[in-house]
Amino acid sequence: MIRSSRIGFQSQNASPKAQLARCWLIGIAVFIVFTCFEKTNSVAYSQYKTQHYKQYTFIELNDLDQYYCIEQLWHKESKWNPKADNPKSTAYGIPQMLKMKEQNPFKQIDIGLRYIEHRHGTPCKALKFHNLKGYY
């Protein structure tokens, strides 16, 4: 699993204790909101699963600013659909990685985060690159 301490996505402005407290509060609020969703039809259930993918990504990044960037980037790429398939290329999954074979959405997220770390450093830099070039 990718953790922010290994990636270095931590904000430079806040102390580690303040960051941790902020993340815990946001995580608790997100959990409360997402557990209130009703799973009465397929659309609600799909949104429910999508919110779990987003929450997992937020926990992995442990940085709200970087989360906002990855949320925008992957919404543009796949709308957070782990079965998104690009008919013009071999791109697949939430991060729309080329030649992606992984079916597990959480593993797709891990692979996508590792790719971004390796190629761009941070999700915000990847989003900026995507906005200029149309891919990342």
- 15-64: pLDDT as tens digits: 777 777 777 777 766 666 555 554 444 444 466 799 999 999 999 999 99
Assign 91 a pLDDT band (cuts: 50, 70, 90).
very high
Both tokens assigned to 67? 């989360």
Residue 118 pLDDT greater than 50, yes or no: yes
**pLDDT number for residue 13:** 65
**pLDDT number for residue 8:** 47
Shortest CA distance to 97 belongs to which of 84, 106, 59, 121? 84
CA atoms within 13 A on the CB side of 107: 7
**pLDDT number for residue 42:** 44
Both tokens assigned to 70? 């990855």
Neighbours of 108 (CB within 10 A): 23
Residue 10 pLDDT greater than 80, yes or no: no
**pLDDT number for residue 34:** 56
Residue 74 pLDDT greater than 70, yes or no: yes
To the nearest 10°, report the CA torsion of 125, 127, 130, 132.
-70
**pLDDT number for residue 12:** 57
How many whole angstroms separate alpha carbon 22 and alpha carbon 8? Answer: 17
**pLDDT number for residue 105:** 95
**pLDDT number for residue 86:** 92
Shortest CA distance to 126 belongs to which of 136, 117, 112? 136
SS3 sequence of 73-118: HHHHHHCCCCCCECCCCCEECCCCEECCCCCCHHHHHHHHHHHHHH
